[in-house]
Amino acid sequence: MSTEATETRSYPPSADLAASAHIDAARYDAMYAASVSDPDAFWGEHGKRIDWIKPYTKVSNASFQPGNVDIKWFEDGTLNVSANCIDRHLETRGDQTAIIFEPDDPNEAAQHITYTQLHGAVCRMANILEELGVRKGDRVVIYLPMIPEAAYAMLACARIGAIHSIVFAGFSSDALGARVNGSDAKVVITADTAPRGGRKTALKSNVDAALLHCKDSVKCLVVKRTGDQTTWIDGRDFDYNEMALEASDYCKPAEMNAEDPLFILYTSGSTGQPKGVVHCSGGYLVYASMTHQYTFDYHEGDVFWCTADVGWVTGHSYIVYGPLANGATTVMFEGVPTYPDASRFWQVCEKHKVNQFYTAPTALRALMGQGDSFVESCDLSSLRILGTVGEPINPEAWNWYNDVVGGGRCPIVDTWWQTETGGHMMTPLPGAHATKPGSAMKPFFGVHPVVLDPQSGEVIEGNDVEGVLCIDQSWPAQMRTVWGDHERFEKTYFSDYKGYYFAGDGCRRDADGDYWITGRVDDVINVSGHRMGTAEVESALVAHASVAEAAVVGYPHDIKGQGIYCYVTLMNNAEPSDELRKELRTWVRTEIGPIASPDLIQWAPGLPKTRSGKIMRRILRKIAENDYGALGDTSTLAEPAVVDDLIENRMNKV
Ligand code: WTA
C-alpha cells in the first residue's frame, strides 16, 4: 500500500487533551531541542525514570563508524528489569491489575492478574527455570501463545539474567529449530495447544519436531493451556503447572549490568537468514517506558491495549516492558480481530474500558471492509488515544479509524519504528501535534533523523524533500549487535551510509518538516504487518525438489498491505500445475510458517537477469505491481524476451 502524501488535512488535539497531556507543543519543542543538542544531559536525567541498583555515572558511549561500531548506554549502572516491572510497584499498587488476560473464546472468563500475583508467578517461573539449569546469560526460547505465562516467562528470564528469544507461535517447527540452534538455547518454553480464532495450533508437537534437529540437552517446559494430550519425553519435558505448585514464590532479582542482553529477537533482513537482534537491559527499558508514557499519553490508572503478539517487538515493548515498567494495566489478547465476529476488538475495548488502543493498519483495513455496524454496536467512550504500527497506513484506513472508531475525538499516533530500534522513533505526540493521515510526523526525543540522497549519500537539507531515512546519533534502545555476528550488524546498518544508522526505509519530509515513511527500499516486505525477507521465501522455494530458481517480490494488496508474489522456474522434469502451486504453498508454510504463504505463484520459464547473472528485481516488482509502463532501462538484460513472457503470464488471481 503506497502512502502518497496527498492528504493535506491535519487534526490538532482538542484543547482539553492538550491541556491534560504530559507533553504539549511547547514542551515537545523544548525537550526535543535539549535531547538532540545535549543527549547525555537529557538521558542522564531521564534515565532516572527507572530504578537502578547501582546508579550510572556514564550516559552514552556510541560510535557508528564502520569497523568500530560500538553502542553503550548507562554502561556502569546495574539494575534488574523484572524488579523495575514488578517489585517497585508492589508497595503502591500491589492490588492493582497488571495484566488483563482476554482469552480467545469470549465465553471463557477474562483474568485480572494483580502486581502482587504477577510477582508470585514470575518468581515461581524463575525458580523453575533455575531448577532446569538456566543461569545468568543462558538463552531461553519462548514459543507460547498470547497467555499470561508468556509475560511470566519473559520477566522470569529477566529476573535471573537469562536472555529470552521469543519465536512467534505462528512459525513452523523448522523455523523454531533454527532459532533454538541459532541462540544455543537451553530450554524451550511452550504450551500444549493454543486456541486462536476458534481453532487450535499444536505448539508442543511443533516443538517435538523442532527438537529433533537440536542438541539432546535442550529441555522443554510445557504450560497446560488446553489440557490436550501431547507426546511426552521423560527427562526432557517438564510440566510447568505441576512444578509451579511446588516452586517458591520468592526469587531474588539478579543484579545485571545495563549492557547485559535482555533479549534476542530474530527479524528478517534483505539477505540471508533472519538475524538475532540483541537488546540490552538499561537503555531499552528507559526508552520503552518513556515512549509508552509519552506516545500514548499514558496516565496512572489507564487501561492500555496493544493488540500485537509478544512474538514481535511491538509485544515486547508495548505489551510487557513499557507498560509494566510504568505500572500500567496492560491487556493481553489471545484471539484474533474477527472471531467470533468482526466486533471482537471493540467488544474487548468496551468490556475492559480500554483507554489506549494500539493496532496494525492491516487489521483496520480488514475490519473496515466488514462495515461500521460492528464498531457502532459497542460503547467506545473509554477510548482516548489510538495508535498504529508496523506499516504505512493509507488515508482511507486512517480516516475510518479516526471517524468510526475514535468518533473524531481520539488522536491517532502513527508510530514508525523497528525491531532494531527497540521503541518508537517517529510519532506524533497526542497533546502536542496536529496529526496528518499517513504521517509519522515527528522524531521522538533523542532521535535525530536525516534524509539522504540514495545515490550520493549526501544529506538533503530543507523541507519538501525525499530520500532514504537514516539516524545520525544513538538512542538508548538501539540494538547493540546481531547475536553472534557483530560484523553482520556493522555491514547491515552502518556500511551503506557511513557514520549513520540506515533504517532500510525511504521517507519524505513535507513542506512543514513532518515525516512520511514511504516504505522499504530493500528486499524486505511487510505482509499484514509482518516483516519478511524475500530471500527467506526464495530459499524455502528452491529447497523444493521441483524448483530450479525463484524470485520473490511484494505487490500491493488491499488488506495485507503487501502480498507475496513468487516467480518460479521449475526443474526440467517438473510440470507446472495448480496442484504444484498448492504443494509449493504448503511447502513454504512448513519451512517458515503460515505468514509466509505465497499469494501468487507465476511459472517463469526464465528470470530477467543482467549479463553478469544478477536477477533484476526492479523489473519483477514492476510486473507484480502491474506497472509495465515504468519498467525502466532493460538494455542490460541478457535476454530481454523473458520480460515479455512474464508480462503476458502475469498472475492476477490466486
Ligand atoms: C515498517 C515493527 C510506516 C517499516 C515495529 C520498518 C512502518 C518496518 C511503520 C519494521 C509506520 C513500521 N509507518 N512503516 N508507522 N512502522 N513500519 O521490525 O518499513 O517488524 O522498517 O518493527 O516496518 O518492522 P518491524
CB-based contacts of 229, cutoff 8 Å, min separation 6: 192
Give the chain's domains with CATH numbers.
15-78+279-444+453-519 (3.40.50.12780), 116-255 (3.40.50.980), 528-649 (3.30.300.30)
In Å, what is the CA distance from 607 to each residue of 524, 540, 562, 570, 576? Answer: 20, 18, 21, 11, 16
Is residue 2 scored above 60 in pLDDT? no
Q: What is the ipTM of this complex?
A: 0.99
Is residue 339 scored above 60 in pLDDT? yes
Is residue 519 scored above 50 in pLDDT? yes
- How large is the average pLDDT for residues 572-588? 96
Q: Is 274 within 8 Å of 537 (Cβ atoms)? A: no
CB-based contacts of 235, cutoff 8 Å, min separation 6: none
Whose Cα sits closest to atom 13 in ligand 1? 392
Q: Is 550 within 8 Å of 534 (Cβ atoms)? A: no
Is residue 559 scored above 50 in pLDDT? yes
Q: Cell match 549513520: residue?
A: 500
Is residue 7 scored above 60 in pLDDT? no
Is residue 630 scored above 90 in pLDDT? no
| Nearest ligand 1 atom, CA 415 | 15
What mean pLDDT value characterizes the chain?
95
- Cell triple for residue 460? 538533503
**What whole-number percentage of the chain has pLDDT above 70?**
98
Residue from 311, 318, 268 nearest 427 by CA: 318
**Distance between Cα 481 and ligand 1 center (Å):** 19
Summarised one tens digit per residue, pLDDT across range 177-229 is 999 999 999 999 999 999 999 999 999 999 999 999 999 999 999 999 999 99
**Distance between Cα 277 and ligand 1 center (Å):** 15
Residue type, 509: R
CB-based contacts of 353, cutoff 8 Å, min separation 6: 303, 382
Residue from 289, 141, 305 nearest 214 by CA: 141
CA 610 – CA 605 distance, rounded (Å): 16
CA 587 – CA 564 distance, rounded (Å): 14
Q: Is 612 within 8 Å of 646 (Cβ atoms)? A: no
CA 499 – CA 64 distance, rounded (Å): 5
- How large is the average pLDDT for residues 62-83? 97
**Distance between Cα 519 and ligand 1 center (Å):** 8
Which residues line the annotated binding site for ATP?
390-392, 414-419, 505, 520, 531
CB-based contacts of 141, cutoff 8 Å, min separation 6: 164, 165, 166, 167, 176, 179, 180, 183, 185, 187, 188, 189
Which residues line the annotated binding site for Mg(2+)?
542, 544, 547
Instruction: Characterize 129-147 residue by residue with b for buried, 16 or more Cβ atoms within 10 angstroms of its Cβ, and e for exposed.
Output: bbebebeeebbbbbbbbbb
| Nearest ligand 1 atom, CA 530 | 20
**Distance between Cα 470 and ligand 1 center (Å):** 14
**Distance between Cα 471 and ligand 1 center (Å):** 15
Residue type, 387: G
CA 60 – CA 81 distance, rounded (Å): 19
CB-based contacts of 162, cutoff 8 Å, min separation 6: 129, 134, 135, 136, 137, 138, 139, 140, 156
CA 413 – CA 78 distance, rounded (Å): 33
Residue from 553, 566, 488 nearest 526 by CA: 553
Specify the pLDDT at position 6. 53
Whose Cα sits closest to atom 10 in ligand 1? 418
- How large is the average pLDDT for residues 82-90? 98
Is residue 653 scored above 70 in pLDDT? no
Summarised one tens digit per residue, pLDDT across range 462-505 is 999 999 999 999 999 999 999 999 999 999 999 999 999 999 99
**Among 278, 365, 391, which is best to mutate for testing ligand 1, by the most ligand atoms less than 8 A from CB?**
391
Binding pocket residue ranges, ligand 1, CB within 6 Å: 267, 312-314, 389-392, 414-419, 440, 503-505, 517, 520, 526, 531
Q: Residue 646: which H helix or E strand, with range?
A: helix 641-648
- How large is the average pLDDT for residues 398-410? 97
Q: Where are the beta strands (DSSP E) in 453-523?
A: 465-471, 481-482, 501-509, 515-520
User: 654: pLDDT confidence band, cut at 50, 70 and 90?
Assistant: very low
**Among 526, 534, 536, which is best to mutate for testing ligand 1, by the most ligand atoms less than 8 A from CB?**
526
**Distance between Cα 515 and ligand 1 center (Å):** 14
Whose Cα sits closest to atom 5 in ligand 1? 418
Q: Where are the beta strands (DSSP E) in 510-640?
A: 515-520, 524-527, 530-533, 547-557, 561-570, 600-603
Summarised one tens digit per residue, pLDDT across range 454-466 is 999 999 999 999 9
**Among 412, 470, 517, 525, which is best to mutate for testing ligand 1, by the most ligand atoms less than 8 A from CB?**
517
Residue from 52, 138, 149 nearest 99 by CA: 149
**Among 268, 505, 532, 560, which is best to mutate for testing ligand 1, by the most ligand atoms less than 8 A from CB?**
505
Residue from 334, 270, 281 nearest 102 by CA: 334
**Among 278, 394, 417, which is best to mutate for testing ligand 1, by the most ligand atoms less than 8 A from CB?**
417
CA 357 – CA 331 distance, rounded (Å): 10
Summarised one tens digit per residue, pLDDT across range 109-140 is 999 999 999 999 999 999 999 999 999 999 99
**Distance between Cα 416 and ligand 1 center (Å):** 6
SS (H, E, C) 209-255: HHHCCCCCCCEEEEECCCCCCCCCCCCCEEEHHHHHHHCCCCCCCCC
- Cell triple for residue 440? 509519522
Least confident of 95-109, 176-190, 228-242, 626-640: 626-640
Which residues line the annotated binding site for CoA?
196-199, 314, 528, 589
In sign, the C-alpha dihedral spanning 140, 474, 46, 382 is: negative
- Cell triple for residue 23? 507533553
Q: Is 175 within 8 Å of 98 (Cβ atoms)? A: no
Q: Is 625 within 8 Å of 555 (Cβ atoms)? A: yes
Whose Cα sits closest to atom 25 in ligand 1? 418
Which residues line the annotated binding site?
196-199, 314, 390-392, 414-419, 505, 520, 528, 531, 542, 544, 547, 589
**Distance between Cα 391 and ligand 1 center (Å):** 5
- How large is the average pLDDT for residues 644-654? 78
| Nearest ligand 1 atom, CA 531 | 20
Specify the pLDDT at position 241. 98
| Nearest ligand 1 atom, CA 388 | 15
Summarised one tens digit per residue, pLDDT across range 266-304 is 998 877 789 999 999 999 999 999 999 999 999 999 999
DSSP 8-state code for residue 114? E
Beginning with the edge strand found earlier in the chain, give each strand of the sheet holding 501-509 in spatial order: 449-452, 465-471, 501-509, 515-520
- Cell triple for residue 276? 538475532
Q: Which residue has the higher pLDDT, 14 or 611?
A: 14
Residue from 382, 413, 497 nearest 449 by CA: 497
CA 177 – CA 592 distance, rounded (Å): 11
Residue type, 244: A
Specify the pLDDT at position 599. 96
Task: Please report the DSSP string for 158-227 in residue order.
Answer: HHHTPEEEE--TTS-HHHHHHHHHHHT-SEEEEES-EEETTEEE-HHHHHHHHHTTS-TT-EEEEE-SS-
Report H helices in 566-624. 578-591, 617-624
Beginning with the edge strand found earlier in the chain, give each strand of the sheet holding 303-306 in spatial order: 111-114, 97-102, 329-333, 303-306, 356-359, 385-389, 412-415
**Distance between Cα 316 and ligand 1 center (Å):** 15
Is residue 28 scored above 60 in pLDDT? yes
